[in-house]
Chain A
Amino acid sequence: MVGERSAPLVLSRHVLMLGVVLMVLAPVYWMLMIGLKTESEFSQIPPTIWPQEFTLEWFEAVLGKRGFGEQIMNSVIIAVIATSIAITVGSLAAYGLSRFQLPWGLNYHILFFILTVRMFPQTVTVVPLFIFFTQVGLIDTHIGMGLVHSMLELPLAVWMMLGFFRDIPRDLEEAAMVDGDHWLGAFRKVIVPLVRPGLAATSILVLIASWNEFLFSLILTRTEAQTLPIAVANQVTQFDILYGRMMAASAISIIPVLIFTLLVQRNLIRGLTLGGVSGA
């Protein structure tokens, strides 16, 4: 689609898109910079585009705050639990659905059902879960939150992995099995290596979704398993909003996501196309 027109037109399109990209990224840049400016600098008019005087006081204040380190750890632990469960359970289902024909058109119905769950209002599940978790002692625990996040992201994991499994020609597995391999051997030797990039991309998406999730964490945690988004939100709703600290806390939650996104950019786009990160 490129190249059929004159050079100035092609160039102007690229310049236009560069402008769009800069506009879209400007707020992210601005947010990250506020956390590095002193109070007098970020409240001055006209504002400075590049900090005149870098300061780490907000980051130190936030990281030094009691509980903040734990909140980061909670977010990491919960995201890892959620990802392990969603990926294991979801890939199994996706493999099963891509390779076996179930009776009564169940393949279709199960996929449809899984998609429906993604569309439940949050409140329809979170209110009973609050009661249930309180009664069985799962409230404010890592495993409880991990289970909730894995449930929320399971539809994404199944749909995404289904696409990756379907891309693998059946002949490959069949050949391995004709050569005398058990199905499990064929699975391990043929399938797993081929879907590794897909597994990585799906894992990253589930990790990010769990890391970002707010509403369920707000309701189902108190102190022990409180996650980073809650910590950021608490900075906002405090009686006196401290912009510097708030932006340092935000930056701490944003930076890991930025790094992960850039690492697996190519496969991530495919994942986003398939299901999107819920909550965004």
Chain B
Amino acid sequence: MAGGTAVLNVLRRRRGDDLQAIAKTPWWEAHLKYFFIAPSLALLAVMAVFPAIMSWRMAFARVTFKLGELEIEPIGFANFTKVFSDNLIIGSTIRTGVWVLVVVSAEIVVGLIIAFLMSKLHSRARMVFTAALIIPLVLPPVSVGAGWLVMMDVNFGVLNYLLSLVGIEQQLWLADDRTALPSIMLIDIWQSSMFVFILMYAGILSLPQDPYEAAAIDGASPWQIFRDVTIPLLRPTFVVVLLLRTLDAARIADRMLVMTRGGPGSSTETVTLSIYKYAFTHFNFGYASALSVMFQVVLIILATFYIRRILQS
């Protein structure tokens, strides 16, 4: 992207040959480059930036929205101070933190193992297996959630049947507040590990070969090569995976909305789900907006932290 571009180069070359041609260039063509990006920026401005600004405004207000009439009455920081005595949102925040930690680390381990194993296979087998493994990733989370709901049925779900084969007692899965969140974690790990796999696999395939040859000459064991060569070389991929997976995992809500609606109790309620409920079951738009913008700040800090590290490497 640095330096002149093709189009500009040609224009410059023409300038040398024929100044008249340049003089005839209509103004819009001279500023052509801005017209390419303008539609994207306009779409994002209207559909994302304008709403976000409105959220910030509503966060400092009591908002009533009835019959299409919007009233925004500024109340200062009242919505924000309420957060610290709201046990529901404190619980959701901790739960979301645990969710992110467990799910993302498990997905990285599973994804990395599969990617590493895949890189050791014959190319024909790789293509077929990779095609098969991306299937869970692209399926609608809602439909997948519905399917797991059936498989996790306490009485005739296939999971309890499989457990009974190896002598483990019946589990309540989603019906018990202690196992509900781990059950949904399992589904997320099943589906999103494949995303980590794809990224890691692409990373492994693009690694330089020289360090491997050097390690082979030194007589390193496969485990040593994996630990001392592959893992350090994959660092940039790790950071990208962490960035994308952390931010997506932190915003999770759709699985819970379909499978448990946050229950039993509030055992599967996440930050996004709580905000959704404040906004659309209690119609407390002001408080929901305050929570949203605080969450946005946290995510931006997280993203900036990761993106800096990506740019460093």
Give the complex CA separation of A247 and B147 in angstroms: 6
Say yes or no: A127 contacts B279, CB within 8 Å.
yes
Chain A nearest Cβ from B163, distance in angstroms: 12
Contact for B134 among A102, A246, A247, A268, CB less than 8 A? A268
Residues of A contacting B1 with CB < 8 Å? 97-98, 101, 107
Say yes or no: A214 contacts B254, CB within 8 Å.
yes
Chain A nearest Cβ from B153, distance in angstroms: 8
Chain B nearest Cβ from A229, distance in angstroms: 4
Q: Mark B112-144, 1 if CB is under 8 A from A, else 0.
A: 001001111111010001111111111111111
Residues of A contacting B143 with CB < 8 Å? 31, 229, 232, 249-251, 253-254
Give the complex CA separation of A27 and B139 in angstroms: 12
Say yes or no: B275 contacts A123, CB within 8 Å.
yes
Chain A interface extent, by class: 35 or more
- Chain B interface mostly helix, strand, loop or mixed? helix
Say yes or no: B47 contacts A17, CB within 8 Å.
no
Q: Mark B4-26, 1 if CB is under 8 A from A, else 0.
A: 11111110010000000000000
Residues of B contacting A43 with CB < 8 Å? 155-156
Residues of A contacting B167 with CB < 8 Å? none
Take A2-B122, A25-B135, A247-B146 as given contacts and tell me if A236 and B259 are in contact as well, using a CB distance cutoff of 8 Å: yes
Give the complex CA separation of A2 and B119 in angstroms: 8
B55 contacts chain A at the CB level, 8 A cutoff: yes
The chain B residue with its CB closest to the CB of A228 is B140
Contact for A117 among B44, B118, B261, CB less than 8 A? B44
The chain B residue with its CB closest to the CB of A75 is B140
The chain A residue with its CB closest to the CB of B209 is A1
Chain B nearest Cβ from A125, distance in angstroms: 4
Residues of A contacting B248 with CB < 8 Å? 276, 278
Say yes or no: A154 contacts B135, CB within 8 Å.
no
A273 contacts chain B at the CB level, 8 A cutoff: yes
Say yes or no: A127 contacts B285, CB within 8 Å.
yes
Say yes or no: A119 contacts B299, CB within 8 Å.
yes
Give the complex CA separation of A215 and B135 in angstroms: 22
Q: Mark B255-279, 1 if CB is under 8 A from A, else 0.
A: 0011101000000000110011001
Q: Which of B276-294 contact A (CB under 8 A)?
A: 276, 279-280, 285, 288-289, 291-293
Take A101-B1, A246-B146 as given contacts and tell me if A272 and B58 are in contact as well, using a CB distance cutoff of 8 Å: no
Give the complex CA separation of A140 and B231 in angstroms: 49
Give the complex CA separation of A1 and B140 in angstroms: 35
Residues of B contacting A237 with CB < 8 Å? 258, 261
Contact for A148 among B47, B142, B293, CB less than 8 A? B47
Chain A nearest Cβ from B136, distance in angstroms: 6
Q: Which of A176-223 contact B (CB under 8 A)?
A: 177-178, 183, 208, 211-212, 214-215, 218-219
Say yes or no: A277 contacts B161, CB within 8 Å.
no
A73 contacts chain B at the CB level, 8 A cutoff: no
The chain B residue with its CB closest to the CB of A177 is B10
Q: Which of B34-42, B87-95, B175-183 contacts the other chain?
A: B34-42
B238 contacts chain A at the CB level, 8 A cutoff: no
Chain B nearest Cβ from A147, distance in angstroms: 6
Say yes or no: A218 contacts B146, CB within 8 Å.
no
B101 contacts chain A at the CB level, 8 A cutoff: no
A42 contacts chain B at the CB level, 8 A cutoff: yes
Say yes or no: A100 contacts B5, CB within 8 Å.
yes
A54 contacts chain B at the CB level, 8 A cutoff: no
B51 contacts chain A at the CB level, 8 A cutoff: yes
The chain A residue with its CB closest to the CB of B250 is A121
Residues of B contacting A233 with CB < 8 Å? 142, 146, 257-258
Residues of A contacting B7 with CB < 8 Å? 99-100, 173, 177, 183
Give the complex CA separation of A154 and B44 in angstroms: 8
The chain B residue with its CB closest to the CB of A208 is B138
Q: Mark A24-55, 1 if CB is under 8 A from B, else 0.
A: 11011011001000000011111100000000
B108 contacts chain A at the CB level, 8 A cutoff: no
Say yes or no: B150 contacts A247, CB within 8 Å.
yes
Chain B nearest Cβ from A159, distance in angstroms: 11
Say yes or no: B40 contacts A150, CB within 8 Å.
no
Give the complex CA separation of A113 and B156 in angstroms: 49
A66 contacts chain B at the CB level, 8 A cutoff: no
A61 contacts chain B at the CB level, 8 A cutoff: no
B158 contacts chain A at the CB level, 8 A cutoff: yes
A104 contacts chain B at the CB level, 8 A cutoff: no
Residues of B contacting A151 with CB < 8 Å? 43-44, 47-48
Chain A contact residues, CB within 8 Å of chain B: 1-2, 10, 13-14, 16-18, 20-21, 24-25, 27-28, 30-31, 34, 42-47, 85, 88-90, 92-93, 95-102, 107, 110, 112-117, 119-132, 134-135, 147-148, 150-151, 154, 158, 170, 173-174, 177-178, 183, 208, 211-212, 214-215, 218-219, 228-229, 232-233, 235-237, 241, 243, 246-247, 249-251, 253-254, 257-258, 261-262, 265, 268-269, 272-273, 275-280
The 7 nearest A-B residue pairs measured at CB: A96-B36, A31-B147, A151-B47, A100-B33, A128-B51, A250-B143, A93-B40
13 contacts between A and B (CB under 8 A): A24-B135, A30-B151, A92-B37, A100-B7, A101-B4, A107-B1, A123-B292, A127-B292, A154-B44, A214-B257, A215-B272, A254-B144, A279-B141
**5 additional contacts (CB under 8 A) given A132-B50, A215-B254:** A43-B155, A93-B39, A96-B36, A250-B146, A280-B137
